[in-house]
A = this chain, B = another copy of it.
Amino acid sequence: MTDLKISSKNNKINLSEVAKAAGVSKMTASRVLREEGGYSEKTRVKVMAEVERLGYLPNRIATVFAGDKNTTFVGVSIPDLGNEVFTHVLEGIDRKLVSFNHQTVLGMTQHALAEEETWIETVLSWKPAGLILTGRAHTPKAVQLLQSANVPLVEIWDLNSSPIDMCVGLNHFDSGYDMGRFLLSKGYTRFGYVGTSHDAANAATSRLNGYAKAIEDGGGKLSKQLCLNDIPGFYPGFYGTEQLLSSDPDVEVIFFQNDNMAVGAVHFCQAQHISIPGDIGIAGWGELPIASVLPYRLTTVQVNHLRIGQLAAENLLLKISGDQATPVSDVGFRLVTGETV
């Protein structure tokens, strides 16, 4: 009566065991477990009782295999967990996925396209329900893998008018351009930029390019731009500012890759008794949590990171279930004029 192990070597209970114990066929037990209908209430009760008693855990690998289906995994690649903006995006994604019974398989690509390619190949071999990739740049082989895998895919972060499948993000170039134009309107003429290193296809580079273009269009001068080999965090903002100002003391305003770097800059200036915005203007990007406790409103660009994640997951789930999904979603941005320029 209480013999838990019945036959298989490693005492794992499978459907056959449950069916046998309940005195029905494998198929009937299968139907009950999938709540497919087509069985009597008496049968259902019998089967479920055995499931409970034996502690049966379905083997989803077998289910996927048998049905030639996909798993409920969604591969999500982000460049870096140390960069706060991406953790917010990831949170938005995972929350949404979980509420629709899907699971996030994490991929940290470390900003390297080659890493991404390897990861894509691995994840695809596990038959994921879908993929969410950060960034629009991929290796040719990765693109080919994605296309032939024919799995729902959302490229997030930077907007892309012709995505491989779908795309959710914002126009980073424009956000940089708007910031540049705004700073010009405040009367600045010598501009600086501090970010972290990245390849040319990067969204932060698009922001820098937009910023540079606005400055050029407005007759200003982008006199110094710095790309540190670091994550875009508080301390890199601190020492990046030091570096930039020591190599070009005439810069009047600095645009940072994100708010955390800008806050690092604010602290550097405080330590050096450089007044903001009197001596120098500071602008961030992304409206990160730290901005909420500063004594003055940081000039920045507000972006709804969580929303990007949610929308990406939503569209992906629509496509997974065979519904119509939006190919390109622009979540937009909003310039926060602030008090630091």
Contacts and interface: CB of A to CB of B under 8 A. Distances in A.
Interface of A: 10, 55, 57-62, 64-65, 71, 73, 76, 81-82, 84, 87-88, 90-91, 94-95, 98, 101, 103-108, 119, 121-127, 144-145, 148-150, 233-235, 237-238, 260, 263-264, 267-268, 270-271, 289-290, 292-295
Contact of A57 (B90, B149, B234): B149
Contacts of A127: 59-61
Given A104-B105, A237-B293, A289-B234, A94 B65 contact: no
Contacts of A64: 61
B234 A290 contact: yes
Given A105-B104, A106-B103, A145-B57, A267 B295 contact: yes
A60 B108 CA distance: 21
Contacts of A125: 57-60
Contacts of A294: 267
B271 A61 contact: no
Contacts of A260: 289
A96 B93 CA distance: 23
Contacts of A124: 57
Contact of A55 (B88, B148, B234): B148
A103 B125 CA distance: 12
A137 to B, nearest CB: 20
Given A57-B145, A149-B57, A91 B105 contact: no
B61 A293 contact: no
Given A123-B103, A126-B60, A238 B293 contact: yes
A263 B108 contact: no
Of A108, A144, A263, most B-chain CB atoms within 10 Å? A108
A267 B293 contact: yes
24 contacts: A57-B121, A57-B145, A57-B149, A59-B125, A60-B125, A60-B126, A61-B61, A61-B64, A61-B71, A73-B105, A81-B87, A81-B88, A82-B87, A84-B84, A98-B108, A101-B122, A103-B105, A103-B107, A103-B122, A104-B106, A234-B289, A234-B290, A235-B289, A263-B293
